[in-house]
Amino acid sequence: MKMNKEKITLVLLPGLNGTAGLFDPLLSVIADGCEWMVIDYPTHEVKSYAELTEFVLDRISSIHGAFILLGESFSGPIAIMLSAKNIPGHIGTILVASFASAPYFSVTKYLPWGVIYRLARPLYFLRIKLSKAKNASLLSAASVEMQKVEPNVLAARTRAALSIDVTGELKTIKIPMIYFRANYDFIVPIWNMKKIIALKPDIKIIYFDTQHFLLQSVPHAAWKSISKFIHEIR
């Protein structure tokens, strides 16, 4: 964690894996002088969205000065819930390939996600080997991070994401928000973004010509947009 009480801190909330590793491509291009904090979620303990929101709130309480929340994918609802709390110093929120309510039909939450994640582990290596070279490094990094987390924890987070609804909180948010949309995102369908726009018409949308893991695949373009957002609301 880098901190300086005189500058705006960018707080990074991770995707489903809940670990910091997949932020490495973005952190490698963040300009010197920018302050950042990455929050890891417990890898062996099941926590609800409400509990994770309190978990994050406890950690950002140590920030002195202004900060911006970035919620990637699974963490978008957490960023939304925190944004609705009017926390002193919280001046902006970025949603990355995320959602305000279940990204798919809620019936999918009843799938045997624990079994699915346990069976997926032996397939990670094969998936990497069969991927195109340009995707292999990203898939490798993602599989490493996913394997740090217990399958039952991943399953619980998946069911939580397929049940969540923070649209009420979203409508009350007063601070500036932007949404990063990947043009080829098949994990979080585009109707999730459209629903957010309908509830938060003043949210700014930025498109990226890539897939769901946009912070990892186009970190320079992502950082350019983040940096511009920081400059605009400073």
Distance CA 32, CA 53 (A): 29
34 φ/ψ angles, rounded to the nearest 5 degrees: -85, 135
Q: Which of 15, 42, 14, 13 is nearest to 153 (CA)?
A: 42
pTM: 0.87
Distance CA 50, CA 145 (A): 23
| Residue 144 pLDDT greater than 50, yes or no | yes
| Residue 68 pLDDT greater than 80, yes or no | yes
Distances (CA, A) of 75 to 19, 166, 201, 219, 231: 11, 12, 21, 18, 24
Please give the full DSSP string across 177-224, using - where no structure is assigned.
EEEEEETT-SSS-HHHHHHHHHH-TT-EEEEESS-S-HHHHSHHHHHH
Residue 111 confidence (pLDDT): 53
Average pLDDT over residues 152-174: 93
pLDDT digits (tens, 9 = 90+) for 104-139: 755 455 454 444 555 455 344 434 343 344 555 666
Place of tokens 């920018």: 34
Average pLDDT over residues 38-49: 95
pLDDT, greater one: 17 or 98:
98
